[in-house]
Amino acid sequence: IQAEKAGYKHFMLKEINEQPRAIRDTTLGRVSLDTGKVFLEAMQLTDDDLRNASQITIAACGTSWHAGLAGKFMIERLARLPVEVDYASEYRYRDPIADPRAIGLLITQSGETADTLAAQAELIAKGSKTLAICNVVGAAITRKAQGTLTTNAGPEIGVASTKAFTAQLTALFVLALHLAQVRGTISDEESLHLVTELSKLPGKLASLLNINSPDAPGSSEGVAAPTRLSQNAGHNKNVSFRPEAQSDLSGLTQNVSSRPERSGVEGPPHFATDRRSTTRQPLSAQCEELARLFHTSDDFLFLGRGIHYPIALEGALKLKEISYIHAEGYPAGEMKHGPNALIDESLPVVCIATKDPNDPSSVLKYEKTLSNIQEVTARSGRVIAIAIEGDTEISQLVEQTIYIPQAPELLLPILEVVPLQLLAYHIAVRRGCDVDQPRNLAKSVTVE
| Residue 157 found at the interface with ligand G6P (CB under 6 A) | no
Neighbours of 292 (CB within 10 A): 13
| Residue 445 found at the interface with ligand G6P (CB under 6 A) | yes
Q: Which is nearer to ligand G6P, 153 or 384 (CB)?
A: 153
Contacting range for ligand G6P; rule: CB under 6 A; set: 117-125, 147-155, 340-348, 438-446: 438-446
Q: Which is nearer to ligand G6P, 185 or 444 (CB)?
A: 444
> By rule CB under 6 A, what count of residues binds ligand G6P?
16
| Residue 121 found at the interface with ligand G6P (CB under 6 A) | no
Q: Which is nearer to ligand G6P, 215 or 314 (CB)?
A: 314
Pick the binder of ligand G6P from 17, 27, 89, 116 (CB under 6 A). 116
CA distances from 164 to 64, 135, 170, 383 (A): 9, 7, 10, 28
Residues 6+ apart with CB under 8 A from 155: 227
Q: What's CA 303's distance to the chain center, in Å?
A: 15
**In whole angstroms, how close is the CB of 158 to ligand G6P at the nearest point?**
9
Contacting range for ligand G6P; rule: CB under 6 A; set: 4-12, 106-114, 288-296, 416-424: 106-114
**In whole angstroms, how close is the CB of 15 to ligand G6P at the nearest point?**
11
| Residue 109 found at the interface with ligand G6P (CB under 6 A) | yes
Stretch 173-232 residues interacting with ligand G6P (CB under 6 A): none
CB 280 within 8 A of CB 389: yes
| Residue 159 found at the interface with ligand G6P (CB under 6 A) | yes
Q: Which is nearer to ligand G6P, 62 or 329 (CB)?
A: 62
CB 105 within 8 A of CB 50: no
| Residue 110 found at the interface with ligand G6P (CB under 6 A) | yes
Q: In which element (H, E) is residue 374 found?
A: helix 360-378
CB 353 within 8 A of CB 403: no
| Residue 62 found at the interface with ligand G6P (CB under 6 A) | yes
- Give the Cα separation of 136 and 152 in Å (integer): 8
Stretch 64-83 residues interacting with ligand G6P (CB under 6 A): 64
Pick the binder of ligand G6P from 19, 63, 212, 213 (CB under 6 A). 63
Give catalytic status of residue 144 as yes or no.
no
Q: Which is nearer to ligand G6P, 109 or 210 (CB)?
A: 109
In terms of C-beta density within 10 A (0-12 exposed, 13-18 middle, 19 or more buried), how is residue 257 classed?
middle
**In whole angstroms, how close is the CB of 448 to ligand G6P at the nearest point?**
13
**In whole angstroms, how close is the CB of 238 to ligand G6P at the nearest point?**
32
- Give the Cα separation of 216 and 100 in Å (integer): 46
Could you tell me where the DSSP H helices lie in 86-150?
88-91, 114-125, 140-144
**In whole angstroms, how close is the CB of 62 to ligand G6P at the nearest point?**
3
CB 250 within 8 A of CB 217: yes
- Give the Cα separation of 186 and 369 in Å (integer): 28
| Residue 362 found at the interface with ligand G6P (CB under 6 A) | no
Q: Which is nearer to ligand G6P, 363 or 445 (CB)?
A: 445
Q: Which is nearer to ligand G6P, 161 or 219 (CB)?
A: 161
Q: In which element (H, E) is residue 400 found?
A: strand 400-404
**In whole angstroms, how close is the CB of 136 to ligand G6P at the nearest point?**
8
Burial per residue of 25-44, b for 16 or more beta-carbon CB atoms within 10 angstroms, e otherwise: bbbbbbbbbeebbbebeebe
Q: Identify residue 255 by its one-letter amino acid code.
A: N
- Give the Cα separation of 78 and 58 in Å (integer): 16
**In whole angstroms, how close is the CB of 413 to ligand G6P at the nearest point?**
16
Which residues make up the interface to ligand G6P (CB under 6 A)? 61-64, 108-110, 113, 116, 159-161, 441, 443-445
Q: Could you give the residue numbers annotated as active site?
A: 443
